[in-house]
């Protein structure tokens, strides 16, 4: 630069200084803290659940970082968790598979009082689930489940729909099994160690699966090839919120002995579709920016990493405000957008079908209405 005269150097320095100041201002804007309300209410599973513990850890981080006071409203029922969100008493729900059921208008949400709900997701950490079998049952693949004793939980569609998604991967249905119904989750999960069933499905870390692993029967998890697109398409026909997942933690599972199973999202940060886009953006930004403060709160919290929690598949479409933040982070891809568009089209088709079912069901019994709605629901999905 020695060939430059002093006259040339001065404006160059001024320009560089001006550019630096502008760049610094830009960085300052980008680094601005999320604009959050001073108080918020979130709904979640009961006290003692993973969902409540995780909501509490994130709420604590929000309080320390931004001064936002958060009240968590727990409930042991799906409707109890959804009602505060839909009525506006809660801004966010830390929900489970009832997010999907509510959007689909099925199970608890198939009655005239409910129907499909227009929900969106901000994020949701992966929670793996798999088919586990007794090692001595001679079941090595999903196809081998045919004719075997399979433990289901009575009145628990959240668990049972996941089990049936596994069967769909292998081209099976519940009718291909010897379905054994147990009154509680605990009794179903413990049935294999007691010799009362040969297989069931659950997450990889409950005490019951460790007990089976240590019992004389032993444990085996059944693999799902993540590259088998045809079989995964069958899974997504049952429930479009599953995705392949390589699990390294659980009974009989390790880094050296992983298993290819699938993941759903729990908890799902669910909001109403009409949440302001800036509010959704700021909420997800806060979840991301406080991650270092809560990531060690429980063994599962590291999976709130935005690169894991901010991508499909998930129970409902992502909110446009969340997508804006994910794009800024360089996480959101064209493939993710295609998934979101298809998921939104499915939800919109059900929302449009609901008034037709209600009109046709006028004056009919609840049982007749359930059949009418299912007919309209299947027509709507079949037209996609």
DSSP structure string for 350-363: HHHHHHHHHHHTTT
Convert the pLDDT of each residue in 208-223 to its tens digit.
Answer: 999 999 999 999 999 9
By residue count, the chain amounts to 384
Q: Is residue 217 a contact partner of residue 133, using CB atoms and an 8 Å limit?
A: no
Mean pLDDT of 320-341: 98
Convert the pLDDT of each residue in 32-78 to its tens digit.
Answer: 889 999 999 999 988 888 899 999 999 999 999 999 999 999 998 88
Q: What is the pLDDT of residue 159?
A: 87
Calpha distance 268→125 (Å, rounded): 7
Mean pLDDT of 139-149: 97
**Average pLDDT of the chain?**
90
> Partners of 150 in the beta sheet?
179, 199
pTM of this prediction? 0.82
pLDDT at 330 over 90: yes
Angle at 253 between CA 170 and CA 228, to 5 degrees: 30
Q: Is the preceding omega at residue 181 within 30 degrees of 0, hence cis?
A: no
Q: Is residue 261 a contact partner of residue 221, using CB atoms and an 8 Å limit?
A: yes
pLDDT at 359 over 80: yes
Q: What is the pLDDT of residue 157?
A: 87
* Banded pLDDT at 31 (limits 50, 70, 90): low
Query: What 3-state DSSP class applies to 255?
Result: coil
Q: What is the 3-state composition of the chain as percent helix, strand, coil, each rounded to the nearest 5? A: 50, 20, 35
Residue 179, judged by CB atoms within 10 A of its CB (0-12, 13-18, 19+), counts as: middle
Task: List, in order of start, the domains of the chain with CATH numbers.
Answer: 39-126+269-382 (3.40.190.10), 128-264 (3.40.190.10)
């Amino acid at each position: 630069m020695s060939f430059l005269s002093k006259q040339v150097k001065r404006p160059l320095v001024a320009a560089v200084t001006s550019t630096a100041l502008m760049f610094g201002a830009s960085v300052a804007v980008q680094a601005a803290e999320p604009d959050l309300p001073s108080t918020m209410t979130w709904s979640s599973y009961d006290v003692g659940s993973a969902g409540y513990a995780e909501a509490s850890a994130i709420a604590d981080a929000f309080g320390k970082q931004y001064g936002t006071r958060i009240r968590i409203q727990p409930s042991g029922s799906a409707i109890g968790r959804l009602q505060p969100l839909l009525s506006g008493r809660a801004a966010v729900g830390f929900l489970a598979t009832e997010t999907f059921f509510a959007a689909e208008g099925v199970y608890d949400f198939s009655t005239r009082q409910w129907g499909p709900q227009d929900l969106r997701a901000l994020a949701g950490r992966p929670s793996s689930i798999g088919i586990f079998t007794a090692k001595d049952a001679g079941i090595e693949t999903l196809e081998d489940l045919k004719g075997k004793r399979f433990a289901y939980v009575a009145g628990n569609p959240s668990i049972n729909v996941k089990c049936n998604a596994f069967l769909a991967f292998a081209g099976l249905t519940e009718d291909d099994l010897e379905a054994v119904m147990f009154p509680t989750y605990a009794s179903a999960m413990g049935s294999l160690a007691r010799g009362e069933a040969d297989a069931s499905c659950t997450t990889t870390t409950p005490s019951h699966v460790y007990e089976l692993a240590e019992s004389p029967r032993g444990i085996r998890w059944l693999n799902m090839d993540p590259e088998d697109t045809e079989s995964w398409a069958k899974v997504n026909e049952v429930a479009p919120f599953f995705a392949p997942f390589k699990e390294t933690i659980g009974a009989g599972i390790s880094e050296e002995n992983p298993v290819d199973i699938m993941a759903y999202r729990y908890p799902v940060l669910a909001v109403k579709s009409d949440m302001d886009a800036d509010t959704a953006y700021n909420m997800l930004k806060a979840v991301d920016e406080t991650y270092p403060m809560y990531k060690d709160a429980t063994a599962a919290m590291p999976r709130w990493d935005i690169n894991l929690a901010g991508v499909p598949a998930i129970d409902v479409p992502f909110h446009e405000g969340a997508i804006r933040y994910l794009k800024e982070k360089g996480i959101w891809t064209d493939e993710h957008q295609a998934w979101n568009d298809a998921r939104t089209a499915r939800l919109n088709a059900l929302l449009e079908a609901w008034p037709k079912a209600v009109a046709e069901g006028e004056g009919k019994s609840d049982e007749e209405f359930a059949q009418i709605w299912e007919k309209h629901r299947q027509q709507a999905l079949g037209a996609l």
